[in-house]
């Protein structure tokens, strides 16, 4: 057994409590990681508020980064002391995993959202011995230590700041991947990014690296639009009546080649689809369990448009995350500009900053040396 403190989420609406917990020793295919820092993603907010079905009490958090402390007997490729990003869990054996499309692992719901490992057990316990729902996105990283499958880890270069890298494991790979892995814009392609949060701004930066133009950012928040313009958007459009006409006017030829939807409301999905020119593709990253039905005008199909759901940016993490780190080193993917660090004990303030939009990407930093 290992010890750590973890943020425990009771029923929706209850305060988050940071308490001591115990972790099982890693099984043969697992790794014990000391979490250095962990981002807060929109899905953590949905989970906290009970919009995502999950057993409770639970430990959430799924943008962890840290240092390997112990490895299971069958683990190869990782050793104590290795800096890592923890990303989502996949089985590694289904056809999609074997095809490097692990975001669509056929076992992903059980491995990421069941509240435990594939066999139903949890590696995290209260000090009185009761199990906590954990392995959220395979990790549950609002904790000083996690026991995770080695398959969910991506090794970091030794010279990057570990505390900055966690959000590459979800939010940033989602937005960047929707552009670089899904839309794959040719230079000069017109793109719209709807929603300028962490995912949308990652999409904007990625679109710029790919040479897209124009890059039209759409949001309700003028400050977010200013940030989008600084990070690579060529145009900014307020999300209000008339936004569709503005996007079409900026892009010309009836609309954009590609749109990245990062909000998850029926209205924004429809906006993404209707903003497309003939044959364009809308990559929807924002739709979640609570989005409900999305009414789509049948006539839109006559335009040869594609509406494409995207999970984790179609990322194959061991390949894509190092690529994003390279772009960051080159100054072309400056995601560090979006983050603000909070001490782990200020998790409530960090959640509030994320919910209000004051901070694009809060990162909780653990105090364990
Ligand atoms: Zn996430
Ligand atoms: Zn799989």
Q: What is the pLDDT of residues 293-331, one digit of tens each?
A: 999 888 888 899 999 999 999 999 999 999 999 999 999
Tell me: pLDDT of 368 over 80: no
Can you tell me the distance from the alpha carbon of 342 to that of 33, in angstroms, rounded to the nearest whole number?
20
Can you tell me the distance from the alpha carbon of 26 to that of 9, in angstroms, rounded to the nearest whole number?
23
pLDDT at 347: 98
Q: How far is the CA of 52 from the centre of ligand 2 (A)?
A: 22
3-class DSSP string for 68-107: EEEECCCCCCCCCCCEEEECCCCCCCCHHHHCCCHHHCCC
Give the pTM.
0.98
Residue 369: band (very low, low, confident or very high) from pLDDT cuts 50, 70, 90: low
Tell me: pLDDT of 192 over 70: yes
Give the ligand with the smallest distance to the CA of 173. Answer: 1
Tell me: pLDDT of 207 over 90: yes
Residue 24: band (very low, low, confident or very high) from pLDDT cuts 50, 70, 90: very high
Q: How far is the CA of 30 from the centre of ligand 1 (A)?
A: 22
pLDDT at 291: 81
Give the tens place of pLDDT for each residue, 229-261.
999 999 999 999 999 999 999 999 999 999 999
Q: How far is the CA of 30 from the centre of ligand 2 (A)?
A: 16
Tell me: pLDDT of 39 over 80: yes
Residues composing the chain: 369
**Residue 263 contacts residue 194 (beta carbons within 8 Å):** yes
Residues 6+ apart with CB under 8 A from 118: 91, 107, 110, 111
Tell me: pLDDT of 281 over 90: yes
Average pLDDT, the chain: 96
Which residues lie at CB < 5 A from ion ligand 2? Answer: 90-91, 94, 97, 105
pLDDT at 297: 85
* 283-299: burial string, b at 16+ Cβ within 10 Å, e else: bbbbbeeeeeebeeeee
């Amino acid at each position: 057994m290992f010890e750590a403190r973890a943020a425990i989420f009771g029923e929706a609406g209850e305060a988050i409590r940071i308490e001591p917990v115990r972790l099982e020793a890693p099984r043969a295919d697992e790794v014990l990681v000391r979490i250095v820092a962990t981002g807060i993603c929109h899905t953590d907010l949905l989970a906290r508020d009970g919009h995502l079905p999950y057993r409770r009490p639970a430990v959430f958090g799924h943008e962890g980064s840290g240092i390997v402390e112990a490895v299971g007997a069958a683990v190869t490729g990782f050793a104590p002391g290795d800096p890592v990003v923890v990303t989502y869990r996949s089985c590694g054996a289904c056809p999609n995993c074997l095809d490097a499309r692990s975001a669509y692992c056929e076992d992903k719901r059980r491995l990421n959202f069941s509240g435990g490992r594939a066999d139903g057990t949890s590696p995290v316990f209260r000090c009185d011995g009761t199990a906590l729902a954990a392995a959220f996105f395979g990790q549950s990283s609002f904790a000083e230590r996690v026991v995770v499958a080695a398959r969910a880890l991506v090794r970091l270069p030794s010279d990057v700041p570990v505390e900055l890298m966690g959000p590459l494991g979800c939010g940033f790979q989602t937005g960047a991947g929707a552009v670089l892995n899904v839309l794959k814009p040719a230079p000069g392609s017109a793109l719209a990014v709807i929603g300028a949060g962490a995912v949308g701004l990652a999409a904007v930066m990625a679109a710029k690296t790919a040479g897209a133009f124009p890059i039209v950012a759409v949001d309700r928040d003028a400050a977010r639009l200013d940030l989008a313009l600084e990070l690579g958007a060529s145009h900014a459009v307020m999300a209000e009546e008339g936004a569709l006409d503005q996007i079409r006017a900026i892009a010309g030829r009836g609309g954009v080649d590609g749109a990245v939807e990062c909000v998850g409301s029926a209205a924004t999905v429809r906006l993404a689809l209707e903003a497309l020119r003939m044959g364009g593709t809308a990559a929807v990253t924002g739709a979640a369990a609570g989005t409900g039905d999305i009414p789509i005008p049948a006539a839109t199909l006559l335009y040869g448009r594609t509406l494409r759901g995207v999970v984790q940016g179609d990322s194959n993490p061991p390949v894509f995350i190092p690529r994003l780190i390279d772009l960051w080193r080159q100054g072309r993917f400056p995601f560090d500009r979006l983050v603000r660090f909070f001490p782990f004990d200020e998790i409530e303030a960090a959640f509030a900053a994320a919910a209000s939009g004051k901070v694009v990407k809060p990162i909780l930093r653990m105090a364990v040396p």
